[in-house]
Structure 1
């Protein structure tokens, strides 16, 4: 079963191991086994393999894994692995990731010749749905960007309050002078932290530090689904009524309100930036606060999430060659979920279980939302940014924004040839590995463009506005 060092050994159905969708992880959160429990099950699996307890090793396998990875199969595969990499020396640690709706535990396995990571995939029931070994990877946090100048700004811990919901946040503000124009950062899908961390990368941190180094204060905060994920899951009333307004819009508006009350912030020059799904929500945020000075849409989706989800899935599968039976089955599951989402009714009974990570109320809230039509009603300045190498939100969406806002003198469009979904620069076909395993920073050109655009509107410099629009 051993092929070569970069694809060491594969057990059973390894589905979409490198897949990051627009919904980077469940939108709201759903009932599932805790990380502690699945980590222990992954550790037990490796201990049983190393001790030759191959029957016991299959204890938590799902039905498909039991069929394709029998105790005898495991024994032969484990022996082959040690023939290539030497005897098993021990377990050196573990880490957790969420990949395409599946939880993955990486167990760091030291062999005589090389350390490998056992990648154990779990389904929602906490059963082992896949196992393979990959070269050990030390995932290090991306370094501070070179364009950030820490001596020019300071950071303060703040709280964003929306009713009973309190979110910790960070205000990054220039040290000297003021009052400053300010920017609120609105996350993409999933329970993001204030840095919008993906793998080792922290795009919101890069934006905050880069812009504050150029005279723009930035407020970023933990997303409500990150801070209160357990509360939302456990409270039936909350989870069944939870919408995009609860998840994203209300907290963005509260962040703007907080900035208006702060010293050294110009209350008339507060802007809002939405990334990915946050970009899609810009028209709704704008409609709720007419005093926001302007808006930035970074890789903003214009189409239904479920449509983009299918498109992303098919793209990533195309990179893997001909579809396997298991990949085809997974694709069919997503297609079926999308069909169920599209069939939800405003009135009448709907299922109470989550569909693609969110409950019916969430999907129904989005069903009638048309960002392209709503953005036409917003007359304030808008900057639309897009990476040409973005497979999650594509040029199709960028062109949709362009068509909707065609002819507007206070709207600027910028397309970055080398940038991916996180606005990091790269080459070749874009894949999720750029986010998960490669540390980088938001492109400096993106930082410069955002800073110049904000200052142009904050300072009412008509000549600079003309330059930015070119």
Structure 2
């Protein structure tokens, strides 16, 4: 248990933001945990902060906006009121008071629909996915007109995502839902179980959590809900997964053979622990030569990855001995349902999309493996978008975590590719 109380965390967040406002980036960054030091190197921290605060004008006032607790972490939001903008700084602390997450979000991040959205072409209906303890709030975006329409269920990546898969100012699931609905395709999106019911996930429950409870069960319920919606053609209900949702989409298809097809956006096909190690190695490379602490962290991670791969791995292995502190149950469940094996017997059309600038899912390894595993299948379409990152947003140069804090939209080319595949298939 942490000896820090809520007032301590509030004070730590205010001190951190004050240091940033004073331009004392080194002092602020010294409070990062090892993962954050890798994810946001000092030059990136300074650049992303200045990009938002310099145009905002003079500082008027600051104050703690809200606090929250999630899975043993304290989240403190500090609002900075500037002359021309308001910026919310969300600081995530681990139990030891180290900064383990950071979001710098202009609070004026009103959603600006991309040009491909025609908001007169659809309406939105609030729904509930599932029943009882784990029920989830969701939204069906329904095209105007008589129907029945094809429908798509959107399945999130890892972490406690909302129905828009909001990341900073970006809402990629809203882009997709509104983009498809503008062209007569209905879309269901919903808040993820680990977001909506965060307080229910006790340490004991987390130690038993697998992707089945985190993702799959709710996706299956969502697909069934969409089939039962009067405006939807039940024979044309598809599933679109992004990141983790894409990786387990074939498993969802295996459990629900009535799905008309799967759209896989940035899905890994290899063991999760392999890509975790690759991501850390990539992030370390951004800051140039590794520090001793970074080298030590990487060596420690290699040991944890080897532990996850151990044929003798059992559910009794403590999560602290495994990558990212995830449970042995989680890794064992993924091991027992390998994506590359599942797709060999999956009899439904697949559309596999990949960004060429994605550092979280490798275009040269994962995407290549999807293509090679499925090259004999005529009902599989694979497409690479060279200029897009993990969010399928356009960019240049090496992709970094701070890039996700810049407002953008899912590429229109991606939206058109999905629409064409859904309507021509």
TM-score by length of structure 1 reads: 0.73
Q: 1:305 aligns with which of 265, 272, 281?
A: 272
Instruction: Determine the C-alpha separation between the residues in 2 that align with 1:36 and 1:114.
Output: 30
Tell me the secondary structure at the aligned position of residue 398 of structure 2. Answer: coil
Instruction: Determine the C-alpha separation between the residues in 2 that align with 1:448 and 1:63.
Output: 41
- Aligned position for 1:41: 12
- Deviation for aligned residue 1:176: 1.0
Q: Does structure 1 residue 255 correspond to structure 2 residue 222?
A: yes
Q: Does structure 1 residue 125 correspond to structure 2 residue 92?
A: no
TM-score by length of structure 2 reads: 0.80
Q: 2:293 aligns with which of 316, 326, 329?
A: 326
Q: Does structure 1 residue 430 correspond to structure 2 residue 399?
A: yes
Q: Does structure 1 residue 367 correspond to structure 2 residue 335?
A: yes
Instruction: Determine the C-alpha separation between the residues in 2 that align with 1:384 and 1:153.
Output: 26
- Deviation for aligned residue 1:394: 1.4
The 5 Å alignment of 1:178-189 reads 178-189=147-158
Q: Does structure 1 residue 218 correspond to structure 2 residue 192?
A: no
Q: Does structure 1 residue 415 correspond to structure 2 residue 390?
A: no
2:269–2:370 CA contact under 8 A, matched in 1: yes
Instruction: Determine the C-alpha separation between the residues in 1 that align with 2:189 and 2:62.
Output: 35
- Aligned position for 2:143: 174
Q: 1:449 aligns with which of 417, 420, 423?
A: 417
Q: Does structure 1 residue 317 correspond to structure 2 residue 288?
A: no
1:271–1:294 CA contact under 8 A, matched in 2: yes
Is the alpha carbon distance of 1:354 and 1:266 closer, same or farther for their aligned partners in structure 2, counting shifts above 3 Å?
A: farther
- Aligned position for 2:24: none
Instruction: Determine the C-alpha separation between the residues in 1 that align with 2:84 and 2:236.
Output: 55
Is the alpha carbon distance of 1:35 and 1:114 closer, same or farther for their aligned partners in structure 2, counting shifts above 3 Å?
A: farther
Tell me the secondary structure at the aligned position of residue 317 of structure 2. Answer: coil
- Aligned position for 2:169: 200
- Aligned position for 1:243: 210
Structure 1 gaps of 5+ residues are 1-29, 51-56, 65-84, 458-470
Q: 2:347 aligns with which of 355, 368, 379?
A: 379
1:344–1:350 CA contact under 8 A, matched in 2: no
Tell me the secondary structure at the aligned position of residue 274 of structure 2. Answer: helix
Is the alpha carbon distance of 1:181 and 1:49 closer, same or farther for their aligned partners in structure 2, counting shifts above 3 Å?
A: closer
Q: Does structure 1 residue 165 correspond to structure 2 residue 165?
A: no
Structure with bigger RCO (C-alpha 8 Å, 6+ apart): 1
1:181–1:266 CA contact under 8 A, matched in 2: yes
- Deviation for aligned residue 1:230: 1.6
Instruction: Determine the C-alpha separation between the residues in 2 that align with 1:141 and 1:31.
Output: 36
Structure 2 gaps of 5+ residues are 22-26, 35-53
Measured on the aligned residues, the alpha-carbon RMSD in Å equals 4.0
- Deviation for aligned residue 1:435: 0.8
- Aligned position for 2:48: none
- Deviation for aligned residue 1:372: 1.3
User: Between Structure 1 and Structure 2, whose CA radius of gyration is higher?
Assistant: 1
